[in-house]
Homo-oligomer: A and B are copies of this chain.
């Protein structure tokens, strides 16, 4: 996802997910991440996401949601619950999640 997420005007919600990959089984990780992206896009209230990761395995994904209810519904989605469990067991060394209400936004394009 290197295209910017195109979003409506604020307010909406952001979920900031920062994580350190364990750097094992890269192919399996990519497959899981692509599946989660596909599923998230089907969730009600999903607005978009941006994600990047450096060569050191440190990644930040910010997903955007219409409201808190849609964030909570995604967190409880069945396949996503399994992925969260796998994330703790094998994909990530550590991570944090911060849920925030976007109040204002601006952009620049050449």
Which secondary structure dominates chain A's binding surface?
strand
CB-based contact B2/A56 at 8 Å: yes
Q: Assuming A98-B102, A102-B98, A102-B100, is B18 touching A50 (CB within 8 A)?
A: yes
Number of interface residues of A (CB under 8 A): 39
Q: Once the chains are docked, how many angstroms separate the CA of A31 from the CA of B43? A: 41
Q: Once the chains are docked, how many angstroms separate the CA of A88 from the CA of B14? A: 25
Judge if A34 is at the interface, Cβ distance under 8 Å.
no
**Residue of A10, A50, A98 ringed by the most chain B CB atoms within 10 A:** A98
CB-based contact B99/A105 at 8 Å: yes
**Sampled A-B contacts (29; CB under 8 Å):** A2-B20, A2-B56, A13-B100, A14-B14, A14-B98, A14-B100, A16-B102, A18-B50, A50-B58, A50-B60, A51-B60, A52-B54, A52-B60, A55-B55, A60-B62, A88-B110, A92-B108, A92-B110, A93-B109, A93-B110, A94-B110, A95-B107, A96-B105, A96-B107, A96-B108, A97-B106, A98-B102, A99-B102, A100-B101
